[in-house]
């Protein structure tokens, strides 16, 4: 069952997701050679609590940290550790919170210092594929119109999309129906109706789409050792089109008044 949200609920989800956006924005300023992902984890926990929210990932199915921090060939669900980031790395940071009874969920991949042109391209294409997916978030479209837009854009640039992890509905729970794959033919799956909220999260590999999960049972890495990027926004379906709940100030306020 897909749970649709009313105006007041969407407003609370905007608040939850704005907290996530602010945390990610702050973490972006801390990402540099020498920083450890454990430091990013404590910084995010402090900030989340200071803003009156609770971390949503810690303890979720036993996940041991506040953040998911996925470096280079790690795709998602990297567990923060004390290894310093190096110049030329890329790091995907995924943040989730509970606030006023609702969840916020968003992820961003950052370059550490100066990175290669190939990695810059991977980050650009992955971010752009998220926005290609978001463009499909209009009343009457179907879920797989999002999936297909993401896949077509990514593969058109010679990269591949991960199949084993998907986007999801979000609301009172972190993961609600429907699943939002990053691949598939258009015109399939549930129709989008006003009040649905979807976390759209392309995971894009520089080489093949295959994955492995490490012995820690969480960290997903590319099977072929290529690098991987991940961008995620929580997006509401409105009569005026997509409302990106996890975008920092300007853009979302614009869609609010649109």
Angle at 240 between CA 237 and CA 243, to 5 degrees: 45
- Minimum CB distance to Co ion smaller for 112 or for 199: 199
Q: Answer for the pair 140, 192: CB distance below 8 angstroms, yes or no.
A: yes
Q: How far is the CB of 217 from Co ion (least distance, A)?
A: 18
Per CB under 6 A, which region of 20-28, 61-69, 141-149, 153-161 contacts ligand MF3?
61-69
Closest distance of CB 76 from ligand MF3, Å: 6
Tell me which of 63, 153, 159, 231 binds ligand MF3, using CB under 6 A. Answer: 63
In this structure, the number of other CB atoms found within 10 A of the CB of residue 48 comes to: 26
Q: Give the per-residue contact string, 223-252, with ligand MF3 (x = CB under 6 A; - = no).
A: ---------x--------------------
Cβ nearer to Co ion, comparing 179 with 207: 179
Quote the least distance from Cβ 116 to Co ion, whole Å: 28
Contact between 144 and 187 under an 8 Å Cβ cutoff? The reply is yes
CA–CA separation, 102 vs 149, rounded Å? 28
Residue 247: HSE in the Cβ half-sphere, 13 Å Cα cutoff:
18
Provide the binding-site residues for Co ion, judged by CB under 5 A.
105, 199
Cβ at position 87, least distance to ligand MF3 in Å: 27
Asked if 52 and 131 touch (Cβ cutoff 8 Å), the reply is: no
Query: According to the binding rule CB under 6 A, does residue 98 interact with ligand MF3?
Result: no
Q: Is 60 a binder of ligand MF3 (CB under 6 A)?
A: yes
Q: Which is nearer to ligand MF3, 122 or 199 (CB)?
A: 199
Q: Are strands 160-161 and 102-111 parallel, antiparallel or unpaired?
A: unpaired
140-199 binders of ligand MF3 (CB under 6 A)? 168, 199
Which tokens hold the place of 224?
A: 């072929």
Residue 63 interacts with, from Co ion, ligand MF3, none (CB under 5-8 Å by kind): ligand MF3
Task: Give the Cα separation of 183 and 143 in Å (integer).
Answer: 11
Q: Is the peptide bond before 178 cis (omega within 30 degrees of 0)?
A: yes
Residue 76, H or E segment: strand 74-76
Binding site for ligand MF3 (CB under 6 A): 57, 60-61, 63, 68, 77, 94, 96, 105, 107, 168, 199, 232
């Amino acid at each position: 069952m897909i749970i649709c949200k009313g105006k007041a609920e969407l407003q609370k989800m905007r608040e939850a997701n704005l907290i996530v956006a602010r945390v990610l924005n702050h973490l972006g300023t801390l990402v540099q050679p020498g920083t450890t992902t454990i430091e990013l984890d404590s910084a995010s926990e402090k900030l989340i609590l200071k803003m009156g929210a609770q971390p949503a990932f810690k303890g979720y199915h036993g996940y041991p940290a506040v953040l998911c921090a996925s470096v280079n060939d790690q795709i998602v669900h990297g567990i923060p550790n004390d290894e310093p980031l190096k110049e030329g790395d890329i790091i995907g940071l995924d943040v989730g919170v509970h606030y006023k009874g609702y969840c916020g969920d968003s992820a961003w991949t950052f370059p550490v210092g100066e990175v290669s042109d190939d990695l810059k391209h991977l980050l650009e294409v992955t971010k752009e594929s998220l926005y290609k997916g978001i463009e499909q978030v209009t009343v009457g479209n179907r879920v797989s119109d999002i999936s297909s837009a993401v896949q077509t854009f990514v593969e058109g640039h010679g990269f591949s999309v991960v199949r084993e992890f998907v986007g999801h509905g979000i609301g009172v729970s972190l993961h609600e129906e429907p699943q939002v794959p990053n691949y598939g033919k258009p015109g399939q799956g549930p129709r989008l109706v006003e009040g649905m909220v979807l976390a759209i999260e392309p995971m894009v590999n520089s080489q093949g789409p295959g994955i492995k999960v490490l012995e820690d049972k969480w960290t997903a890495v590319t099977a072929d050792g290529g690098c991987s990027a991940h961008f995620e926004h929580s997006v509401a379906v409105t009569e005026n089109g997509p409302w990106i709940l996890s975008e920092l100030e300007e853009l979302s306020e614009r869609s609010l008044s649109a």
